[in-house]
Structure 1
Amino acid sequence: MDKQKNFDALLKAIAGRKTEKMYQNDFFLTWEKTEDELKAVWEVADALRNLRERNISTRVFDSGLGISLFRDNSTRTRFSFASACNLLGLEVSDLDEKKSQVAHGETVRETANMISFMADIIGIRDDMYIGKGNKYMHEVADSVAQGYKDGVLEQRPTLVNLQCDIDHPTQCMADALHVIHEMGGIENLKGKKLAMSWAYSPSYGKPLSVPQGVIGLFTRLGMEVVLAHPEGYDVMGDVVEVAKKNAQQSGGSFRLTHDMKDAFRDADIVYPKSWAPFAAMEERTELYGRGDQKGIDELEQRLLKQNAAHKDWACTEEMMKLTKNGKALYLHCLPADISGVSCEEGEVDASVFDRYRDPLYKEASFKPYVIASMILLEKFRDPAKLLRELEKRGQRRQFEA
């Protein structure tokens, strides 16, 4: 299908989606969104990419800010958010809390309103502490909604979750769009087996939001989702229940296993990724809350020792041979712990990673468009009409003499 026919088909699909509730709303967790809303995010993302590939500008804002707040280190998500804002015509301003009045006791409500006078979107990454990140995002969203209602703000900034303690929606939605393209359409995902597996890492404290986000999203697509981890590396029980419910409703399946080989056997897609045990993350949150640095250091050493007992949980060539025809699609949010490259022993063999390097980079390339799609759906009531008008306007993104 050529780009014009593909664009027309996307707009027809988008026009048929019920996305009214996304308008002037926020994006926190994928399982809070309807099936139509999720599909619209993917379709709008593809439509935006289509326009850019045809050198058509997608700037729908003449001015305005996208505010980013990263409470954890980031490369892909940080630049994906900046790229998404720029794609739509917004400038990005990063809130560095160390340089703000937050350190002097400024409240969340005050900070949220002070940074939002000309802001259209706020993107937050707050994934380090259980029970804190998603709660903080809601407090920010509630604060700016009240500021708009009270006439303090001229517009109501909406929020995109760039990763919290529960979910990583922009990552998992980008992962899913990559899989949709690789499998030739969303309808081809039904019945496919996805192994979301813990993998060894020589570091500790990796967030739970990626595995939780994956099982919370892919179970909605009629897939056979398997969550694999050593005993004691549980994720949030509430998210496991979400995954079970989703699988029942979609006609797929969801199960837990403590055997990585069981998860990989005949899998169409594998996602080996390290994470910290839920109980340990709860303990760390409590220790940070008390300012107990000695306790934090002791916990780190205990968890590193615990990880080291499971070095056999790695995505090796032998493990990949167990997958469907030995050619499962390998996914990772990056950066991966690559054995012999970024660490002595890690999540994945260098030979496996090298073989999938280009597909992994393509996987990451969907994230700016997914974030831009979320923003567009939150800020505009009729996305199909807007995208058609952008095409008709035909403003060149890059000048051609």
Structure 2
Amino acid sequence: MPSAALEKELAAFKALKTDLFHKDFLITWEHKLDEIKAILTLAEALKQIHQEGLSYRAFESGLAISIFRDNSTRTRFSFAAAASALGFTLSELDEEKSQIAHGETVRETANMISFMAEAIGIRDDMFLGEGNKYMREVGDALTEGTQKGVLHRRPSVINLQCDVDHPTQALADLAWLKKHFGGLDNLRGKKIAMTWAYSPSYGKPLSVPQGVIGLMSRFGMNVSLAHPEGYGLIPDVIDVARKQAAETGGSFEVVNSMEAAFENADIVYPKSWAPYQVMQRRTELLKVSDKDGLKALEKECLANNAKFQNWECDRAKMNLTRDKSALYMHCLPADITDVSCKAGEVSAEVFEQYRIPTYNEASYKPFVISALMFLTRLSDPAAKLEQIVRRAKPLSI
């Protein structure tokens, strides 16, 4: 018999309307609120199924292809876990060992790998203005291949982080907030501080903070974005967050003080990123393979970062938060002072206090990715979920 918790998640999921079948998932704010809620509810249901030692295998076959154009640990293994749990076979495309390295086009590669593929997960976050564009080019190639009869079915493209958004991370973050505060409605009026923090490295993507403000601003939260002057995000994403906050009864502000953002915050998310203008310059230099220019830019940026070493999440700043006990969040790995670096984003004391909660935050990602595959590949996901819940098949026989 299904547990009461599973029955509750099933009923909640069946009440939501979604239209994600055979679609891509690239940017959270391009999707309806009910679809976001459905992803969260389904992820929670799948997590509960797995926790109870049951299988949520939904497919007999099919490839789930991952393309990582940047380093990854959590997302790479979460995608692999999701593929396995659903019944797909994982295949990771190494572009250096494929014909792409010899000039094969995006259009050709996308079709050649997709004859029996169901989902393609892509991480392409290094080049501003290029990553999300590349994902859409892959999607267009798949559409053409399907329309021309090359592909029997068009695989869904899932953004595993680009230059604009990191949807699987932001959705995992939101799933953890939903759990921690007891529901999405309880997030209304909560203050979240998405702040820049010092790192001894440069060039970290903008997509994590952009994903956070682009999603949390849809739930009536008071979003405070903090960074030193000159460390801004993509202006269009700022506009989206401000508009969404106004529409949902929340608020959105940009401040140049970490302390101001932490003041009475319920949630803090201190994370380093490279300034928008720097990422623009970096992309231009990378396009022309200007190694000397890149070295000069790195030297300049590291020197500028060093001016803001006091932008660290320490005990004094945490004491500014609501009841001195805001929830600390991070996409991981964090730059931890005196642990992973001499000076970093967060003090060792604060990180150790919240280390297990950040692991809990990360634990939602395989189930979020599972939910995205489930919703984009099934015409009646509610019926399939009910079938899975009713059969209650153990993970091991």
For residues 2-401 of structure 1, the aligned pairs below 5 Å read: 4-20=3-19, 22-399=20-397
Quote the offset at 1:56 in angstroms: 2.0
In 1: Cα distance, 2:248 partner to 2:9 partner: 23
Quote the offset at 1:396 in angstroms: 1.7
Q: What 5-or-longer segments of structure 2 have no aligned partner?
A: none
**3-state DSSP of counterpart to 1:225:** strand
Pick which of 58-67 and 261-270 moved more.
58-67
**3-state DSSP of counterpart to 1:66:** strand
In 1: Cα distance, 2:137 partner to 2:147 partner: 15
Alignment deviations for residues 178-223 of structure 1 (CA, whole Å, 9 cap, x no partner): 0110001111000000000000000000000000000000000100
In 2: Cα distance, 1:331 partner to 1:3 partner: 32
TM-score with structure 1 setting the length: 0.98
In 1: Cα distance, 2:331 partner to 2:52 partner: 28
In 1: Cα distance, 2:167 partner to 2:51 partner: 25
In 2: Cα distance, 1:353 partner to 1:159 partner: 34
Quote the offset at 1:12 in angstroms: 1.8
- Percentage identity across aligned positions? 54
Alignment deviations for residues 70-109 of structure 1 (CA, whole Å, 9 cap, x no partner): 0000000000110111110111111000001111110001
Asked whether the 8 Å contact 1:180–1:189 carries over to 2, the reply is yes
Asked whether the 8 Å contact 2:106–2:137 carries over to 1, the reply is yes
Asked whether the 8 Å contact 1:199–1:315 carries over to 2, the reply is yes
In 2: Cα distance, 1:225 partner to 1:392 partner: 41
**3-state DSSP of counterpart to 2:281:** helix
Which amino acid in 2 is paired with 1:68? S
Pick which of 150-159 and 251-260 moved more.
150-159
In 2: Cα distance, 1:235 partner to 1:327 partner: 28
Quote the offset at 1:394 in angstroms: 2.6
Alignment deviations for residues 367-401 of structure 1 (CA, whole Å, 9 cap, x no partner): 000000011000112222111101222322122xx
In 1: Cα distance, 2:8 partner to 2:185 partner: 15
Asked whether the 8 Å contact 2:2–2:392 carries over to 1, the reply is no
Alignment deviations for residues 110-156 of structure 1 (CA, whole Å, 9 cap, x no partner): 00011111110000000000100000000001111211111111221
Asked whether the 8 Å contact 1:3–1:50 carries over to 2, the reply is no
Which amino acid in 2 is paired with 1:15? K
Asked whether the 8 Å contact 1:63–1:89 carries over to 2, the reply is yes
Asked whether the 8 Å contact 2:67–2:92 carries over to 1, the reply is yes
Pick which of 40-49 and 10-19 moved more.
10-19
Task: Give the paired residue count.
Answer: 397
Pick which of 293-302 and 147-156 moved more.
147-156
Which amino acid in 2 is paired with 1:19? T
In 1: Cα distance, 2:121 partner to 2:81 partner: 12
**3-state DSSP of counterpart to 2:3:** helix
Which amino acid in 1 is paired with 2:300? R
Alignment deviations for residues 8-62 of structure 1 (CA, whole Å, 9 cap, x no partner): 2222222221202x11100000000111000000001011112122222111111
**3-state DSSP of counterpart to 2:16:** coil
In 2: Cα distance, 1:382 partner to 1:62 partner: 16
Which amino acid in 1 is paired with 2:4? K
Asked whether the 8 Å contact 1:14–1:383 carries over to 2, the reply is no
**3-state DSSP of counterpart to 2:119:** strand
TM-score with structure 2 setting the length: 0.99
In 2: Cα distance, 1:123 partner to 1:45 partner: 17
Asked whether the 8 Å contact 2:174–2:216 carries over to 1, the reply is yes
1:278–1:3 Cα change, 3 Å: farther
In 1: Cα distance, 2:100 partner to 2:300 partner: 33
In 2: Cα distance, 1:241 partner to 1:207 partner: 19
In 2: Cα distance, 1:39 partner to 1:392 partner: 23
Which amino acid in 1 is paired with 2:291? Q
Quote the offset at 1:3 in angstroms: 6.8
**3-state DSSP of counterpart to 2:54:** coil
